Structure 1
């Protein structure tokens, strides 16, 4: 599940302290070094490599390539796999409203909706978004500073939007098992939440969770 929500700005400083502590523990680990290596690959042209191929004639699904597996590892390694980070994510989830304009959630079987969107956007487009592949914690002041990036990355039209949607749909259908996902909402939902938070004086949190 990928969830994004507007939250009370007063909650953000305490959450940020927990995030900084969790990330400080992650820096210097072998996993973080691998993340840095994969980020260099992704931003250096890896996003344009072939991610899927048809293994045999007539086979109904495409086969993920090594590049697709590499990108999945990049997304997994973007944030710490630690008890402290998991506890922080749970605290953030408890602050999220249950539906409404100030909340967005997408679920998928075997594949991350956040990874699908970032694959769809490519390295340049996804670099316009804050945090690390769908996970972020923003004060209201930070929301105001990044809303233009959200607009540029997600308020797409025409052929550009169609290309992003097609790539994101392919990730969910072929790497995961969700051929009928509402891929349009992966663009529209996060943008709606950030716009609302910018107008209402709230912060924003994004969390990826596996169940």
Structure 2
């Protein structure tokens, strides 16, 4: 059985962001400080991966490219520090991501949510936009907790990361390897949803919580 993962960005007022901070920030900071993860990040920044359609051949033949693909997946899939957050923060019974975060968003019906089986949304987005743009996004590999002031500060960088010319957009869409095209089945595109959510939060004077987790 393959894993099912989710990446969500929800908007909240500053009081609630402060309430979440002791639970989530240590996990995000631990993930960002992990020496192995930092090494994988540097490797990807210095040597971006080729088109994903070559990866099957790389896996079959081994070698440096296969190692680079594996390193990228290890970097951008749900890491051990936040893997179990969906079912409760480590050491804290009674904290559930759906009820205690997502359902308490200012507008739960419009929060960004991308769910996939045997795939990871952050991996697909990062490969699509490349390391230079990915470095502009807040937090660590899709995980962040920002107050309203921090949203305002981060938004120009997110705008630069996720704003495309028509040609750049076409290239990015081709590099998303998920098993459906962006926007199919009513799902919001990875190239649109995160920026849309941060823009709305900034306009409303809200903070945001971004988490990438395993559902099961």
Query: What's the TM-score once normalised by structure 1's chain length?
Result: 0.77
Given that residues 4 and 105 in structure 1 are in contact (C-alpha distance below 8 angstroms), is that contact kept between their aligned partners in structure 2? yes
In structure 1, how many angstroms separate the alpha carbons of the residues matched to 2:153 and 2:80?
Answer: 23
In structure 2, how many angstroms separate the alpha carbons of the residues matched to 1:18 and 1:188?
Answer: 28
User: 3-state SS of the aligned residue for 2:132?
Assistant: helix
> Cα–Cα, structure 1 residues 89 and 50, in superposed 2: closer, same or farther, change >3 Å?
farther
Matched length: 191
- Give the drift of 1:196: 0.9
User: 3-state SS of the aligned residue for 2:112?
Assistant: strand
Aligned to 2:160: 152
- Give the drift of 1:48: 3.5
**Alignment partner for residue 102 of structure 2, among 93, 96, 116?**
93
> Cα–Cα, structure 1 residues 82 and 25, in superposed 2: closer, same or farther, change >3 Å?
farther
- Give the drift of 1:38: 0.6
* CA deviation profile, 1:40-81 (whole Å, cap 9, x unmatched): 101112x2346442768xxxxxxx943322211012375614
User: 3-state SS of the aligned residue for 2:101?
Assistant: helix
Moved more, 178-187 or 122-131: 178-187
* CA deviation profile, 1:163-206 (whole Å, cap 9, x unmatched): 111112x2x2xxxxx23453872121111111111111100111
> Cα–Cα, structure 1 residues 23 and 195, in superposed 2: closer, same or farther, change >3 Å?
closer
Aligned to 2:61: none
User: 3-state SS of the aligned residue for 2:210?
Assistant: strand
Aligned to 1:53: 54
**Alignment partner for residue 210 of structure 1, among 176, 197, 214?**
214
> Cα–Cα, structure 1 residues 20 and 208, in superposed 2: closer, same or farther, change >3 Å?
closer
**Alignment partner for residue 196 of structure 1, among 192, 197, 200?**
200
Query: What's the TM-score once normalised by structure 2's chain length?
Result: 0.76
Instruction: Give the CA RMSD over aligned residues.
Output: 2.9
Q: Which runs of 5+ in 2 are unaligned?
A: 1-5, 58-64, 90-94
* CA deviation profile, 1:100-157 (whole Å, cap 9, x unmatched): 3xx1111222111121111111110101110112111110000000110111111212
Q: Does 1:130 align with 2:152?
A: no
Greater RCO between the two (CA within 8 Å, min separation 6)? 2
Q: Does 1:179 align with 2:187?
A: no
In structure 2, how many angstroms separate the alpha carbons of the residues matched to 1:156 and 1:163?
Answer: 10
